[in-house]
Amino acid sequence: MGEVFFYHLTRTPLEGTLRSLLERSLGAGWRVAVRARSEALLDRLDAALWLGDDAGFVPHGRAGGPHDGDQPVLLTTGRAAANRPDCVVSLEGAGIEATEVAVLARAMILFDGTDPAGLEVARGQWRLFKEAGTKAKYWSEEGGRWEMKAQT
């Protein structure tokens, strides 16, 4: 049974946090689906992961291509991911269910600490996972580095 890690972004931009989490996930041998609600965010992330900084390229693709099943990281707005992910990363409050998490190694929910609506969505997701008995951990970078602040 998988677990959910909540990442409350207050200091590091989404692109930097996502890059770090993707690199660690790939290092663990996982395939990852990055799920967002908007194509605009996926466009931004696609460019950031291709061009990146000195850290280099993170291998990935956009859903809807002929090689979706081969992608180590697949950027998508849909629930089904052809790359058979071990990990799903939820952005913009994209939906993820406890039954889905149960068959994953991990799910990650990244949310912007400056967005009141995003905070409420994340709180609702936390409650749902807690009620479902899904293991969850809440991580905050408020103190300058990532620290686990709560767990179910």
Domain ranges of the chain: 3-151
pLDDT in tens, 21-43: 999 999 999 999 999 999 999 99
Handedness of CA 90, 107, 62, 17 (dihedral sign): positive
Cβ pair 6, 140 in contact under 8 A: no
Q: Mind listing the pLDDT tens digit for each residue in 106-139?
A: 999 999 989 999 999 999 999 999 999 999 999 9
CATH architecture of 3-151: 3-Layer(aba) Sandwich (3.40)
Q: CB within 8 A of 117, min separation 6: which ones?
A: none
Given a cut of 70, is residue 54 above it in pLDDT? no
More confident residue, 57 or 98: 98
Mean pLDDT to the nearest integer, 37-52: 90
Q: Which two tokens stand for residue 42?
A: 């996926």
Cα separation, 42 vs 78, whole angstroms: 12
Locate 91 and state its tokens: 């952005």
Q: What is the pLDDT of residue 95?
A: 93
| 24: helix, strand or coil | helix
pTM of the model: 0.94
